[in-house]
Amino acid sequence: MSIDHYTYRVTWSPEDNEHVGLCVEFPSLSWLAATPEEALAGIRQVVTEAVTDMQASSELIPKPLAEKHYSGEFRVRIPPEIHRALAMQAAEQGISLNRLASAKLAG
């Protein structure tokens, strides 16, 4: 498995006054640096070390999100009042509840 397939993000941390590198698949790991490039390089190195350690101890290594299959379906539980209100909105717009929910999630 390549660490290049993981999902990385660099953001500014006002608390630390530095850029922070993050990896979605390893939420407990981060790397602080003066520049975004250094933050990205740092978090990639930390992930490499974590994966190496996990392999050595036969731990389950997180699968990169980019390699997972998504069906396009998931269940969401909502209060009946919200369900009713959304169903009425969908009916008023002449669309399915699924299409309305999808549009709201995308927007």
Report pLDDT digits (tens) over 17-73. Answer: 999 999 999 999 999 999 999 999 999 999 999 999 999 999 999 999 999 999 999
What is the full DSSP assignment across 3-54? GGGS-EEEEEETTTTEEEEEETT-TT-EEEESSHHHHHHHHHHHHHHHHHHH
Q: Is residue 82 located within the same domain as residue 35?
A: no
Quote the domain boundaries for residue 95: 70-106
User: Could you give the percent of the chain with pLDDT greater than 70?
Assistant: 99
- How many domains is the chain partitioned into structurally? 2
Q: In this structure, are 88 and 101 located in the same domain?
A: yes
Q: Is 95 in the same domain as 61? A: no
Phi, psi of 11 (to 5 degrees): -140, 170
pTM across the whole model: 0.74
